[in-house]
Amino acid sequence: MPQAAPPTVLCDAAAVATEAPARVEREGTAYAVFLLGERHYVTQDACTHGPGSLSEGTIDGEEVECPFHQGRFHIPTGRPTAPPCTEKLRVWPARLIDGRVCIDRE
Ligand code: FES
């Protein structure tokens, strides 16, 4: 029976603030780690519209506004909520393990 891959550790939970998401690169992929309320969320960092980095975006409720053309996404689902963004973000369920934000990449 194949063993499940170990979780990928992204960062210390304490390194993420609601107003200051974290950008983390692992094996060629850039992730944005968000804190909304008490919960962490992980999306791809790259905006689906262009070169914007969503970890540098502005948080408004459960949405992030891309700093490049001000498109928006719903962080928990990755759904685009304002133009020019039309393509969904990839999202990964985040887990806290020993105070660190982890994801299962597959
Ligand atoms: S690059 Fe993000 S809205 Fe254009």
Ligand 1 binding pocket mutation candidate from 45, 49, 54, 64 (most atoms within 8 A of CB):
49
Strand partners, 92: 42
Task: For 14, list phi and psi in degrees, rounded to 5.
Answer: -70, -10
* Global confidence as pTM: 0.94
Question: From ligand 1's centre to the CA of 48, what distance in Å?
Answer: 7
Q: Side-chain half-sphere of 13: how many Cα atoms within 13 Å?
A: 17
Reading the chain (106 residues) residue by residue, the pLDDT tens digits are 677 788 999 999 999 999 999 999 999 999 999 999 999 999 999 999 999 999 999 999 999 999 999 999 999 999 999 999 999 999 999 999 999 999 998 7
Question: Using a 6 Å cutoff on CB, does residue 47 contact ligand 1?
Answer: yes
